[in-house]
Copies of this chain bind each other. A is one copy, B any other.
Amino acid sequence: MVDVSADPRARRPGGRSARVRAVVHRAAADLVAERGADQVTVPAVAERAGVNPSTIYRRWGTLPALLADIAAQRADTAPEPTGDLHDDLANHAAWTLADLSRPGGVAFFRAEVAPDVDERRAGLRECLQRVSTRFETILDAARERGETPPSLERVLDRIVAPIYFRVVFSLPETDETYARGLAAALLDADS
């Protein structure tokens, strides 16, 4: 059994472990961005990272686990809440788009969705969880201010889903203006 603890300070977080973790993360992220998640292998990551393949196998076990680990710590750079529902939704829509658009963004999304059948649901739930939580926080805040924001499902359908769809399919004109427009359209319709 491999300990994939995302906990940054493991049992011996000192210099070497942290350094290896960093170079491996970087190498994997780069390769995914360059070739796509399907064309990346553990040996390839190991070589670029200047690390032995067995190290990766022992620490992460599988490639999807490694990618999930990377994706997990990517997601903690969300924008600050402003106190205004519209601005918050628009900001997070734009951030979601930006996060997904950067090199390898979609690849990571797909990598997380891909893992072995047993863990698939876990990966999916976690991925969705991260997306949902950010928006949920915004909606909760609005509710506490006495407003009646749209439901989370509605936000997923009208903001998140279109962004994912358009990024996956590389539809043109999928930019920040578009993302913010989704937020505005949703609030307009509900008013």
Contacts and interface: CB of A to CB of B under 8 A. Distances in A.
Interface of A: 35-36, 38-39, 110, 113-117, 120-121, 124, 127-128, 153, 156-158, 160-162, 164-166, 168-171, 182, 189
Contact of A116 (B38, B156, B157, B161): B38
**Stoichiometry (number of copies):** 2
Given A158-B158, A189-B189, A168 B121 contact: no
A110 B114 contact: yes
Contacts of A182: 157
B120 A36 contact: yes
Given A38-B116, A116-B38, A124 B170 contact: yes
A107 to B, nearest CB: 10
Among A38, A157, A166, max chain B CB count under 10 A is at A157
A136 B162 CA distance: 18
B161 A156 contact: no
A117 B36 contact: yes
29 contacts: A35-B117, A36-B114, A36-B117, A36-B120, A38-B114, A38-B115, A39-B117, A110-B114, A113-B168, A121-B170, A124-B169, A127-B169, A153-B171, A156-B162, A156-B165, A156-B166, A157-B162, A157-B166, A157-B182, A158-B158, A158-B162, A160-B165, A161-B162, A161-B165, A161-B166, A162-B162, A164-B164, A165-B165, A189-B189
